[in-house]
Amino acid sequence: MFIEERQAKILELLARDGKVLVKELAEIFSVTEDSIRKDLSALELDGKLKRTYGGAVSIEQKLQMTEANKRRISDVEAKRKIASAAFRLLRPNQLIYLDISTINIALAQMLEKSTARFRILTNMIDVLVMLARNHNIELFFAGGAINQSRDGFSDALNLEFISHFRPDISFIGTAGCHITKNSLSTHDTNDALHKARMIELSKFSCIVAESRKIEVEANYCFAPLAAADALITDAALKADLLDKAEKLGVNVIAAE
């Protein structure tokens, strides 16, 4: 059977059942699980399904993921720049926390290709799916009640689990980073509690935010900017904002 035929059959099964599993598909088509994973990756790039841990789901039956998908495809170049700057901060064998942030998806893609050894703690499903098969990465992940619009876990059960860790470095996404008001903010209150807690517990915390989010406030303030150690953004800030960030004790990294 040609690859195109197999992928067409996978979509038929997906339309019928709403989800497919890698292991089952490998048995059905008598191919390796790695071949099935490549099929699912190709179909996801074509926008025909959504990969999950161990398989894939139908996009049509997961409309609640629309918000996460929209965030994923916006400001792609800015996110890539920020992720590259973040990756340069990493050292082998560190425990790294990646929270629910589309910038952290770009960072996970770089980690996936790396041959260095890292330990990763995350509550984001996309990061889990990317890194679960990299044997150089020790991955820590806990479930709970899924926040489907955020594509991750941000409930009390997950917070209790991740609170046992003390990451060497964490990368925290934000909907707004208002330097003048010393404010970090987001829209989801449960997600906000996770962000605030991991800033508190991490030995070094980095806020990752596109430049369009600078001097912006969302609905819920989860921490003062001064609580973080660094801010990574994709464009140079004006001198007055750099001076204000410096007075707050925050190192600004412009990933131009």
248 and 179 Cβ atoms separated by less than 8 Å:
yes
Q: Which residue has the higher pLDDT, 31 or 52?
A: 31
Confidence of residue 44 (pLDDT cuts 50, 70, 90): confident
Identify the sign of the CA torsion 192, 195, 198, 200: negative
Looking at the chain, the whole-number percentage of residues with pLDDT higher than 90 is: 65
Min mean pLDDT across 82-86, 142-146, 183-187, 245-249 is at: 142-146
Domains and CATH numbers, the chain: 3-61 (1.10.10.10), 69-254 (3.40.50.1360)
Average pLDDT over residues 219-232: 97
Identify the sign of the CA torsion 222, 224, 228, 230: positive
Average pLDDT over residues 37-55: 87
Average pLDDT over residues 175-190: 94
Q: Where are the beta strands (DSSP E) in 13-117?
A: 19-21, 50-52, 55-57, 95-98
Q: Which residues pair with 55 in a beta bridge?
A: 21, 52
161 and 142 Cβ atoms separated by less than 8 Å:
yes
User: Alpha-carbon dihedral of residues 28, 30, 32, 36, nearest 10 degrees?
Assistant: -40
DSSP 3-state assignment of 144? coil
Confidence of residue 184 (pLDDT cuts 50, 70, 90): very high
Q: Which residues pair with 238 in a beta bridge?
A: none
The DSSP secondary-structure symbol of 236 reads P
pTM: 0.72
H or E, element range at 155: none
